Structure 1
């Protein structure tokens, strides 16, 4: 098995373009030496805050090797919430690059002020330790964390403010979250002949469980992508012919032009497209399945949360994808819970008593993979932990056969409909490059925020698009670049309320977001 990064790793002075397991292990050992030389010791917390790439995982692995606790922070997180996380964890060491270290919060303070020491991965600020100078220092004796002790912190998406920090132990992350996909279950998991391409925020727990499964199942080649620029992806996929691709919905959106290009065969060999983190629009699924020349390509969509890992999955075939979304009426189907791994139930949001199949309610999950808490925020954890069950904050319907269909987040839920379903249908009717966020309000129909490539929307087009759909207010039209999103591409609906609805109240309680 070999790894091919889309660009050289930021922590590899040799700038290798092909990495086998021995090379990766060497980078981890030498990086562990650098972290130890920078003063990091067993039990210390250190923050990894850098431009997204596969080496985020290797930095974390190097820290875990010496018993330190990595705090994984997305390089796309703005300075102010990043500062809040730094203040919460009080890190011994901040590992970052100059572009991010030079950024300042709203009060003008540099992030380096909130860590005991800073380690810079590139040259610049003389006040920071140089990673290049420490790289290759003596590798200390490994000191892995015990199974039941804190091993790592990652943060939630932050759609409602400063993200929460999720606490993982080795038992939860390695033994429970990763165990299902480490099994050989064709065609769901990798085979040894697969060429796997991964687009993900490598600071997220999902990246760690994916890496465990990759090392266990050993596909022939792994393409680790740092971004989804079509100019980079096209030539790389043409050369290496991936058979399995996993990406965020926002990555698939960026690659749609490549999938729609009849001159490109970038996706011709793909047998499985995998999507995680958020629901993906029907209009995005379709061109990728059509671009594959495999006789029976599948789209696999996962349902899960950072606190629980995977809770269910569903599959879309090419035949189904080529139907219009409105021809498949009803809320978005996210699949069935994984037998022996996860149990799901739907309850009344007020009484927490189970509701009959076919009726909407709050979705609770029970899984051994549930993480152990929110760091220094036990009250927020207790709000969502219901004994052995986990409150997802989603409103859904369970069918008689056990399939789960999602309606909305509880904070946005209005009885009698599904804004997520309406968004899917509206976007499927609109031309490419458009997106819609429906914001429910207490005293009227939902307000559609329509994002377009040029910030303009033809009135006649909108009339055709909205014909036959439930009542909506007049659309607010914005440029696609102005749609507020998290680092994983999720729409920040609370920010839309602040900008365009004068912070109008949402219909739900918002207790479990």
Structure 2
């Protein structure tokens, strides 16, 4: 990874990167870059890290605002053989401190806002690393890039193919996240391999303008950058957030043809997609979503906003530990007919041929169940990462020989497609909370969100997030008409709906707030 930008610069394929805001590691560089600019930025940053005392095998923790320079910092660390530890800037303080304590980094790269936070004992984050690099202020307990500027660029010392190259963390929906261990062989050799191939129309074309909304500390960001630099679309729009007021002018100046984002990003942009005058999504031929289930109402809104004759929605199924496991495509016609059909479990596609195998097993015996029967989804893939850093016991809970326990409850059809019902921790036999949430959101007003919490001795409890924290009873009855029995809804404000750094709803936090004594049917062993 540390030499990736250099090698792509040498290929001579022209590419322009347009950023939604300047880089935190060098704001003076502006917002427009070519490959040579980014390669030079990685080399200079590797020199600064080396001058800060980082050497091969050392761990460099990156904990800052979400932006492309998270990737550049990781590449710079990897270039000199260090191991980047990528932490979302949205992680809660207790999780960050637990992860820093686990990895004992040689260097922590962060900003003053985060470095000023104290824990209950008055300790700052700087106490968890040998040295700290502050990106935006002079501090007595940290160095700055200005202090390290002008350092010579050290010779590259990349990690071996089977050596630990990088750590990223899981979503942390049920507590302190796990740190996933990646090698070059797994991340680049396997996870990124499929999408680095020219497979029209599902991968990038040379004439594409690709826009991305991404948590740039996540493994998905690294497989994405491999594919972008390999397939070399003409223009890449790098978005650090999904604020419509930022997106609108940039997309009007540079109309995108492919957009990838998190479900939460598409949700924030739905009002922009409904604008009829100069709709900024009219040029898009393909939308892509990852990380979590995306609502049918959202898919429909964006496919209808596209002016392309046959726009597609690419929906990927996978996990941080395995990379992609399946993929499906949704057309505008399918999305618009969805409301006229009987709802059913979310189809996430077939396993990627020659890359992935899927089986569904009984959660108690781990024996395969017949096609069409629900059970735990197991996957076998050469892309599976090598472990959880410092937590081998949690890894052994999920790694069963060559198979990986996804913790999802799903169905495998006779044709090999996989349909997801729920996470095991939030599943009630005989129903699908994911499916019911999708239907409810489709029939509630725009801007509403729903999380169903399962309980052992009754129907699921809906937590309904609305713009003002209030829910009209008659409106709710109309939305829930014809659905399986649900408990009385709990209405909260949208800002009170807890989420992870990738936008996933923290259901366990909702349980703690509103269902303190209720038992759930799922075990939660494999989350």
TM-score (norm 2): 0.96
Q: Distance in 1 between matches of 2:376 and 2:433?
A: 16
User: What's the counterpart of residue 179 of structure 1?
Assistant: 193
Q: Is the 8 A contact 1:8 1:16 kept in 2?
A: yes
Q: Distance in 1 between matches of 2:185 and 2:359?
A: 25
User: What's the counterpart of residue 294 of structure 2?
Assistant: 280
SS at match of 2:62: strand
**How far off its partner does 1:325 sit?**
4.2
Match of 1:112 among 126, 129, 135: 126
User: What's the counterpart of residue 389 of structure 2?
Assistant: 375
Match of 1:198 among 212, 223, 230: 212
Alignment of 1:100-179 (within 5 A): 100-179=114-193
Cα deviation digits, residues 400-452 of structure 1 (max 9, x gap): 10000000111111111111111100110000010111111011111100110
Q: Is the 8 A contact 1:122 1:132 kept in 2?
A: no
Is 1:400 aligned to residue 395 of structure 2?
no
Is 1:84 aligned to residue 90 of structure 2?
no
Is 1:223 aligned to residue 237 of structure 2?
yes
Q: Distance in 2 between matches of 1:39 and 1:222?
A: 34
User: What's the counterpart of residue 70 of structure 1?
Assistant: 84
**How far off its partner does 1:14 sit?**
2.9
Q: Distance in 1 between matches of 2:411 and 2:150?
A: 54
Cα deviation digits, residues 264-315 of structure 1 (max 9, x gap): 4210100000000000011111111111100000011100000000000111
Q: Distance in 2 between matches of 1:13 and 1:433?
A: 34
SS at match of 2:519: coil
Cα deviation digits, residues 320-355 of structure 1 (max 9, x gap): 111344625210110000001111010111111111
**How far off its partner does 1:472 sit?**
0.8
Q: RMSD of the alignment, in Å?
A: 1.0
Match of 1:463 among 477, 487, 496: 477
Q: Is the 8 A contact 1:157 1:486 kept in 2?
A: yes
Stretch of structure 1 that moved more, 468-477 or 260-269:
260-269
**How far off its partner does 1:104 sit?**
2.5
User: What's the counterpart of residue 256 of structure 2?
Assistant: 242
User: What's the counterpart of residue 29 of structure 1?
Assistant: 43
Structure 1 ranges of 4+ moved more than 3 A: none
Q: Distance in 1 between matches of 2:100 and 2:59?
A: 10
Count of aligned positions: 513
Q: Distance in 1 between matches of 2:342 and 2:197?
A: 32
Q: Is the 8 A contact 1:258 1:264 kept in 2?
A: no
User: What's the counterpart of residue 5 of structure 2?
Assistant: none
**How far off its partner does 1:378 sit?**
0.2
Match of 2:72 among 58, 64, 67: 58
Alpha carbons of structure 1 residues 325 and 367: separation in structure 2 relative to 1, 3 Å: farther
**How far off its partner does 1:18 sit?**
1.3
Q: Distance in 2 between matches of 1:481 and 1:357?
A: 41
Q: Is the 8 A contact 1:31 1:136 kept in 2?
A: no
Cα deviation digits, residues 77-103 of structure 1 (max 9, x gap): 011110000000000000011111112
Q: Is the 8 A contact 1:324 1:428 kept in 2?
A: no
Is 1:18 aligned to residue 32 of structure 2?
yes
Cα deviation digits, residues 133-181 of structure 1 (max 9, x gap): 2133111110000000100000000000000000000000010000000
User: What's the counterpart of residue 447 of structure 1?
Assistant: 461
Q: Distance in 1 between matches of 2:119 and 2:315?
A: 37
SS at match of 2:269: helix
TM-score (norm 1): 0.99
User: What's the counterpart of residue 188 of structure 1?
Assistant: 202
Q: Is the 8 A contact 2:343 2:439 kept in 1?
A: no
Match of 2:376 among 362, 368, 384: 362
Q: Distance in 1 between matches of 2:354 and 2:338?
A: 35
User: What's the counterpart of residue 12 of structure 2?
Assistant: none
Q: Is the 8 A contact 2:126 2:141 kept in 1?
A: no
Q: Distance in 1 between matches of 2:279 and 2:477?
A: 36
Stretch of structure 1 that moved more, 159-168 or 127-136:
127-136
Unpaired runs of 5+ residues, structure 1, are none
Is 1:485 aligned to residue 502 of structure 2?
no
